[in-house]
Amino acid sequence: MKNSIVGATDIKEIKLMRTKLSEEANVEPDPVPTGEVKKETQIIAIYGKGGIGKSFTLANLSYMMAQQKKKVLLIGCDPKSDTTSLLFGGKACPTIIETSSKMKLAGDEISIGDVCFIRDGVFAMELGGPEVGRGCGGRGIIHGFETLEKLGFHDWGFDYVLLDFLGDVVCGGFGLPIARDMCQKVIVVASNDLQSLYVANNVCSAVEYFRRLGGNVGVAGMVINKDDGTGEAKNFTEKVGIPVLAAIPANEDIRRKSASYEIIGKPDSEWGSLFGELAANVASAPPVHPKPLNQDQLLNLFSSDITGRDIVLKPATQADMTGKEVKPKKSLEVIYDAA
């Protein structure tokens, strides 16, 4: 009897969760405010394939910019929330989405000090995201920016606002800076591998798509991370028509320090000059119109033994699908003579 009661309770909870998720999915988010930002503020969105090192690049870039006496705001827009963890030595800071929800339930108003934290001149915050299966990450991004607007985002006086976005997630919230002209330019982070360049190419395609619709965002260039010298990423930038802003080598010292949440973008460090040059290039690179590649052009950046482009597509037959010979059936389609 006890087990059946527990089972019935579980079923009720599952039905309730499904109802809540269904209701959330059907509610359209409020439009994101797109008020004018101060002209002296450069808002830059950085995109890249998950795991390619964009959060590592941004944490070190923002740190170097602050050491160059620039006022920098770093906003992590990746549900993994690893951007600020890298900046704060592995410590996770409260996310805007989670903090806002908790304070709303408690009847309190969220403030800057609840979600924005400082390290050596870098201001940083995380939008955050839902747990797996509990909501839409893109929708969370939209609501996160709505909260930033309420906190006075367009009145803040920063030199640079850096946004860390996943490039291999295609739902609407992650394309927000491009679609809504929320940034002036986009930077892509990639490596000499097909998947990261595929994502970079998709980002370039998105920029061009929204430009055709009247958008103003351009691509300022690429940061090549884990550069092993094989040259595919550099070749990609030449064909697409964007510059290389920096090439961060595939180096064991960098890998080790990144894994232990150590900032290497310091003026007096071994890698200081590299990130100093990157900071200067990011600041000065103008947004340009990229020329995205088609699938064949992208594959041609790599040798055929890597991409398999010498494979011939062999059509399947009904016999292949069923494991036996199948007699063709007459079509029931009605074909009318031309009037």
Cα distances (Å, whole numbers) of residue 290 to 221, 275, 328: 9, 24, 49
> Pick from 183, 177, 115: which is nearest to 152 by CA?
115
Tell me the pLDDT tens digit for each residue of 178-201: 877 778 999 999 999 999 999 999
12 is catalytic: no
* Candidates 70, 71, 80, 234; catalytic one: 80
Predicted TM-score (pTM) of this structure: 0.77
pLDDT tens string 195-225: 999 999 999 999 998 888 888 899 999 999 9
Give the DSSP H or E segment for 161.
Answer: strand 160-166
**Residue of 71, 114, 159, 168 marked active site:** 168
Q: Please name which of 69, 75, 157 lies closest in space to residue 120, comparing C-alpha atoms.
A: 69
Mean pLDDT of the chain: 82
Each residue's pLDDT tens digit, 18-34: 676 566 555 554 444 44
Instruction: Considering the domain delimited by 42-300, tell me its CATH architecture.
Output: 3-Layer(aba) Sandwich (3.40)
Tens of pLDDT along 23-82?
655 555 444 444 444 447 899 999 988 889 888 999 999 999 999 999 999 998 776 767
Active site (annotated) includes residue 54: yes
> Choosing from 49, 185, 226, 257, which is the catalytic residue?
49
% of the chain exceeding 90 in pLDDT: 41
CA atoms of 64 and 273, how far apart (whole Å): 10
114 carries an active-site annotation: no
To the query of whether residue 70 is one of the catalytic residues in this protein, the response is: no
**Tokens coding 170:** 């295609």
At a CB cut-off of 8 Å and minimum separation 6, what does 139 contact?
24, 29, 171, 173
